[in-house]
Structure 1
Amino acid sequence: MRLQLETLTTAALLLGEAGAIQLPLFQSRPKTQAHLTADRELVSSSAYQGQVKADNLLKRAKELYKIAELGEPEYNHPTRVIGSKGHIGTVDYIYSTIAQLGDYYTITNQSFPAVTGNVFESRLVLGHDVPVSATPMGLTPATENKKPVFAPIVAVSNYGCEESDFPSDVKGAIAFISRGTCPFGTKSELAGKAGAVAAVVYNNEKGSLSGTLGTPTPNHVATWGISDEDASPVLKHLKADEKVDGIAYMNAMVETIQTTNIIAQTTEGDPQNCVMLGGHSDSVTEGPGINDDGSGTLTLLELATLLTQYRVNNCVRFAWWAGEEEGLLGSDYYVSVLTREENLKIRLFMDYDMLASPNFAYQVYNATNAVNPVGSEQLRDLYTEFYADHGLNYTYIPFDGRSDYDAFIRHGIPGGGIATGAEGIKTPEEQKMFGGKAGEWYDPCYHQACDTVSNLNLTAWEWNTKLVAHSVATYARSFEGFPERKKDSVGALAVKEYKYHGPRLVL
């Protein structure tokens, strides 16, 4: 496995502080027209797809797992979470692979501050019960001095979205708050302002509850999510004016580090009309992320390599985002710093996250023009037509902010993508359509240590990589029939608030 750059070695990466790593900007060699165009045909979908092989994808997956093992000494298991040596090695691998392709691409690394967190240990006791569903919220701070706190449990009025919802006796208590209306981070912040020592957000729908507090504030307190079932006995006692005591303990860390997006753009092709696609380079803390999103990362890397054999009419821009698992940090940052002119150059953005789930369904984001930037629906239809043309079933899934397309559509750029499923449950109808097992997660190892090389469905991965190739080739050749970007389409759009901003719930 080669992890070397012309100007940077893996050893140099790993010897530095993870949060301080800054990859150098790759300076491409002077391009010549002869070098770029000689002996290259214009990219075609059929030829490009024909070079996609599952064996080559699997080989890359094995390399990526070895890189994830670099995180094992610090985390006690393989991981590629931002700030870890596993993620630094991933960025190195992506960068060096593209750099070795010569002057076909210009490569930039875009460093930015990212908030990351880790829960080392937590305990929650409500009355006499230990709620089995209790899950620390993402980016939760620790309890005071990282020690257990013993306090009464106090119910918060309404949804805990206003200061007036918090009674005076919540000071020094564990705030007990219903899910709903406002973000979890707002509830935790208001609990802290009211003097609570911890907060518990309970689901007002069926099922367990896990999410993230999002951007940290000084007033956030240690916060858990629990299910409606675990909340029920506590609420019963509190409504009867019976005292319920609790114990809350959180040993956690939240810090700001520097991490890096990698962007590779063809030096050839109309730079005013770019087709852009991306996947995220990081995993969760809990595992190596070989499907989530190693599958997307490696699909892009393989296709970027294969594309060098062809000419393109429109520029193609590949992106590997950092910090997706922490709340779409890399893609949010990238779009936020685009000028109006640079925004308009991106004709569409295609998101490729989790393409090889073992209990897969072929899923297409239901991105319609009615509620998204115009062009999103045309991209959606390109995906569905591909599946139909190859006799493959597909299903629509919500376009609800769960992955890196979010910032693009919020800023007027048409978007869409495909996936194969995460923690959702496969239905009996989907079992008939795609095989696999109804009643189980699409990816039983989602956000877990078992998301390894053995967690990949190679058939789904190969077909989806062919579809990604088809999407790239189609728009690299021509945007004929695809809606033009309008100057007034740039800027933050007024869109509804989604329950997700990234893979975790925020509302």
Structure 2
Amino acid sequence: MKHTRLRSRPTRAVFLAFVSSAAVATATLASPTAVGAAPDSAADSASLREAVTTAGVMDHMEAFQDIADAHAGTRASGTPGYAASRDYVVGKLRAAGYQPVVQQFDFPFYRQLATATFEQVSPTPTAYQDGTDFGLMTYSASGNVTAPVQAVDLALSSPATSTSGCEESDFNGFTRGNIALVQRGTCTFGVKQVNAQHAGASAVIVMNQGTAGRTGPFVGTLGAPVATVPSLGTSFTIGQALASGATAHIVASTESEIRPTWNVHADSQAGDREHLVHAGAHLDSVVAGPGINDNGSGSAALLEVAEQMANVRTTNRVRYSWWGAEELGLLGSRHYVNDLEANQPSKLRKTKLYLNFDMVGSPNYALFVYDGDNSAFPVGPGAAEGPEGSGQIEKLFHDYFESQGMPSAETPFSGRSDYGPFIERGIPAGGLFTGAEGVKTASQAELFGGTAGVAYDSCYHIACDTIGNVNEDAIDANSDAIAHAVLTYAQDLSSLMQPVSGAVHGDGTPGGGGLHDDDHELPSS
């Protein structure tokens, strides 16, 4: 179904004439390496926000939907749909006057080709449902196995953090050909998988820990195509049922191999090269669907802003990036940062901040801002520390929303989007998010509208994440906020150094919106 246009697209020339003249005045006042303030950044932002339209963003998202429709319903990295998405972004950037750079890298591709089978054959025949009672590990191998289940160093009587399967010695006495039953915890799933395979396991079942918050079925990742036998994650309860002498049947059909994919980068023509303002969004979807909210929305909004700023003369250099293979572990942004760190560390040091836009149109949205000062989400499990300057970025977004009469709330630096490699290097970061699989609270429904008790995005990571799965009010609010932030920092970085007194909070309650995680609990069986 086609969306309804909220407003007509204004003449771009009016904005360019206004902002370019202001920026020229700024450039003549600043020394070549100074970080000068623009004479009237508020007025510039208003003009840019008028030029950046919801209609323009939606045009790009409809193009992404058309691409997915033409390529088996997906835009995942490693598929023709992603290559077509790359070409679309590159074409639009070139038409706007940029000289985009396409950065190729290899990554481990994975997809599940058919519904998996997992059942207890004896002593109590029980069929488990894929996606509800269990999920194949990302990078699971294919196979059809019926064999006894053998427990490996489990903690069943007093559930706690488990080391099951983390050491080769855990498999002393393991019978080759059996299915290894290991427990989540301590080391990576990939380590458990490899150790089980070396011991001769015909398949690997990873049961949950049984601790608070980690009891149900879950999906995890092996991190790379290390599996030679099927691998799945399931609940603590199902693991208990299999631990004492059961026989199981597992069937998996997957595709797991190394493939090329790409990042796309475009730099502004103007601006001091010593001061780089970097804004990014991941371009790929999951294999299961077209990914129009996740993350066609962030990619489209960033592209619209880049188009409208193409001829704007700014004080600082702006780099726009569309990342590949985010859905398999932030691989595109990680490749970019690692490559710079290894080969051009001076250029990495010129990056003064990174802005991330991942899911900005969720249908049951909240206006979440990354909690850069950790005031709502203290450093700990699920919340990384925001480097110095991140609290100031958070404040800029909260202040912007407040200036527009809109509430905002916090979401943690959970490590599950492309800001991760940047904050690991101490680069200040911030950005926007409208919620994933998390459930909207009653207080958030009062603030933002929508429905309490329902996920922000009920189509997160599944086939229904189509053009009909985006909220145009969220797109409107966030695309303007993106434009405001990018232009503000393109003109002036001084606010990054200004002290922020007290905790930085929006008007909303901190809810997070869901961890946007690829290692998450499935619905209870």
Structure 2-normalised TM-score?
0.79
Match of 1:209 in 2: 218
Q: Look up the SS of the partner of 1:348 in the other structure.
A: strand
Amino acid at match of 1:98: L
Provide Cα deviations, 1:398-447, integer angstroms capped at 9, x if missing partner.
Answer: 21111111111112222122101111111222222222122221111111
Q: Look up the SS of the partner of 1:125 in the other structure.
A: strand
Report how far residue 37 of structure 1 moved.
Answer: 11
Quote the Cα distance in structure 1 between the aligned partners of 2:110 and 2:445: 37
Going from structure 1 to structure 2, the CA distance change for 1:194 and 1:506 (only over 3 Å counts) comes to farther
Match of 1:91 in 2: 86
1:180-329 pair list within 5 angstroms: 180-204=185-209, 205-217=214-226, 221-235=229-243, 238=244, 243-329=245-331
Does structure 1 retain, via aligned residues, the 8 Å contact 2:58–2:300? Answer: no
Amino acid at match of 2:220: G
Residue 48, structure 1, aligned to residue 48, structure 2:
yes
Match of 1:164 in 2: 169
Provide Cα deviations, 1:229-279, integer angstroms capped at 9, x if missing partner.
Answer: 4334334xx2xxxx1000111111111111111100012100110110111
Does structure 2 retain, via aligned residues, the 8 Å contact 1:168–1:194? Answer: no
Quote the Cα distance in structure 2 between the aligned partners of 1:368 and 1:168: 50
Amino acid at match of 1:115: P
Report how far residue 463 of structure 1 moved.
Answer: 0.3
Match of 1:123 in 2: 117
1:149 to 126, 145, 152: 145
**Which has the larger displacement, 290-299 or 404-413?**
404-413
Report how far residue 367 of structure 1 moved.
Answer: 2.5
Report how far residue 312 of structure 1 moved.
Answer: 0.7
Q: Give structure 1 regions of 4+ aligned residues with deviation exceeding 6 angstroms.
A: 35-38
Report how far residue 376 of structure 1 moved.
Answer: 1.5
Quote the Cα distance in structure 2 between the aligned partners of 1:286 and 1:130: 24
Match of 1:4 in 2: none
Does structure 2 retain, via aligned residues, the 8 Å contact 1:408–1:414? Answer: yes
Match of 2:396 in 1: 382
Does structure 2 retain, via aligned residues, the 8 Å contact 1:178–1:201? Answer: yes
Quote the Cα distance in structure 1 between the aligned partners of 2:300 and 2:462: 19
Going from structure 1 to structure 2, the CA distance change for 1:101 and 1:151 (only over 3 Å counts) comes to same
Provide Cα deviations, 1:284-343, integer angstroms capped at 9, x if missing partner.
Answer: 111001111000110111000111242211011000011111211111100001021011
Quote the Cα distance in structure 1 between the aligned partners of 2:492 and 2:304: 22
Report how far residue 221 of structure 1 moved.
Answer: 3.3
1:397-408 pair list within 5 angstroms: 397-408=411-422
Match of 2:346 in 1: 341
Provide Cα deviations, 1:25-50, integer angstroms capped at 9, x if missing partner.
Answer: xxxxxxxxxx9999644372221112
Q: Look up the SS of the partner of 2:223 in the other structure.
A: coil
Match of 1:16 in 2: none
Match of 1:60 in 2: 60
Quote the Cα distance in structure 1 between the aligned partners of 2:347 and 2:83: 28
Report how far residue 149 of structure 1 moved.
Answer: 1.0
Does structure 1 retain, via aligned residues, the 8 Å contact 2:392–2:495? Answer: no
Amino acid at match of 1:224: L
Report how far residue 79 of structure 1 moved.
Answer: 0.7
Report how far residue 227 of structure 1 moved.
Answer: 2.4
2:106 to 113, 117, 138: 113
Report how far residue 99 of structure 1 moved.
Answer: 0.5
Quote the Cα distance in structure 2 between the aligned partners of 1:53 and 1:267: 23
Q: Look up the SS of the partner of 1:152 in the other structure.
A: strand
Point out where structure 2 has 5 or more consecutive residues left out of the alignment.
1-15, 24-40, 154-161, 380-384, 499-513
Does structure 1 retain, via aligned residues, the 8 Å contact 2:165–2:182? Answer: yes
Amino acid at match of 1:123: T
Q: Look up the SS of the partner of 1:154 in the other structure.
A: strand
Quote the Cα distance in structure 1 between the aligned partners of 2:238 and 2:443: 31
**Which has the larger displacement, 219-228 or 264-273?**
219-228
1:393 to 407, 410, 413: 407
Going from structure 1 to structure 2, the CA distance change for 1:422 and 1:307 (only over 3 Å counts) comes to same
Report how far residue 505 of structure 1 moved.
Answer: 1.8
Report how far residue 170 of structure 1 moved.
Answer: 4.7
Q: Look up the SS of the partner of 2:241 in the other structure.
A: helix
Quote the Cα distance in structure 2 between the aligned partners of 1:195 and 1:335: 38
Amino acid at match of 2:218: L
Report how far residue 482 of structure 1 moved.
Answer: 1.5
Quote the Cα distance in structure 2 between the aligned partners of 1:470 and 1:297: 16
Quote the Cα distance in structure 2 between the aligned partners of 1:183 and 1:506: 14
Going from structure 1 to structure 2, the CA distance change for 1:265 and 1:154 (only over 3 Å counts) comes to same
Does structure 2 retain, via aligned residues, the 8 Å contact 1:295–1:353? Answer: yes
Does structure 1 retain, via aligned residues, the 8 Å contact 2:291–2:466? Answer: yes
Report how far residue 228 of structure 1 moved.
Answer: 3.0
Report how far residue 356 of structure 1 moved.
Answer: 0.2
Quote the Cα distance in structure 2 between the aligned partners of 1:378 and 1:410: 18
Q: Look up the SS of the partner of 2:328 in the other structure.
A: coil
1:8-23 pair list within 5 angstroms: none
Quote the Cα distance in structure 2 between the aligned partners of 1:425 and 1:309: 41
Query: How many residues matched?
Result: 440
**Which has the larger displacement, 373-382 or 349-358?**
373-382
Match of 1:421 in 2: 435
Quote the Cα distance in structure 1 between the aligned partners of 2:19 and 2:165: 65
**RMSD across aligned positions (CA):** 2.3
Does structure 2 retain, via aligned residues, the 8 Å contact 1:214–1:506? Answer: no
Does structure 2 retain, via aligned residues, the 8 Å contact 1:106–1:265? Answer: yes
Quote the Cα distance in structure 2 between the aligned partners of 1:197 and 1:261: 37
**Which has the larger displacement, 396-405 or 224-233?**
224-233
Match of 1:493 in 2: none
Does structure 2 retain, via aligned residues, the 8 Å contact 1:174–1:199? Answer: yes
